[in-house]
Amino acid sequence: MIPCPYRTSRQHGFTLIELVMIIVILGILSAVAYERWPVGMEEAAAVKEFKRAVRYAQHKAMTRQFTTAAAAWGITVSANRYTVQRKNANCLLPADAADRDKCAEETYQTRALNDKSNTSITGPTLSVWFNGLGEPIDPAGAPLLPPLPDITFTIKADGSGTPINVHLRTGYVE
């Protein structure tokens, strides 16, 4: 019997060579993607969060009847946590905790930049306070002015560290 010349055998599936080639191509693509994957995103997010918190403290000082140095608003830092509060520290009194003019909202008390243990905030001072004009002030309540250097905090998360400057004369945060 002669096989039918019009009948062809159909192959079902892939050959071993085709599968190996696909695995090699996927390996090359993943290696290229890994090399180009963005790094430093956690540090950038932590920097934005801290800048926002400093600006928030400045805003509170400008809108909450600054009268004395004890009534100044500011931000204090410790490791990777910060607190936005009045300088007279009424945030620690339970009776005043609900009053937003005497104390910051509960979400701004010992707030962490992120949940990573390798994140830190460092600076020449552990706090910065603002007057009613949004200028950084000294403990007596006098504005800090040049020739003193700007207040610089450094945030380290997954990079070499990113500085955040609070300019003395204007209070501008960059």
The pLDDT tens digits of the residues spanning 97-151 come to: 566 566 776 777 788 877 777 788 888 778 899 988 888 998 888 888 888 888 9
Using one digit for the tens of pLDDT, what is the confidence trace for 42-65?
888 888 989 999 999 999 888 877
Element holding 163 (H helix, E strand): strand 162-166
Q: Give me the sign of the Cα torsion angle 172, 71, 121, 52.
A: negative
Q: Considering the entire predicted model, what is its pTM?
A: 0.71
Specify the 3-state DSSP secondary structure of 91: helix
Q: Which domains does the chain have, with CATH numbers?
A: 41-166 (3.55.40)
Q: What is the bridge-based pairing of β-strands 162-166 and 151-156? A: antiparallel
CB-based contact 75:106 (threshold 8 Å): no
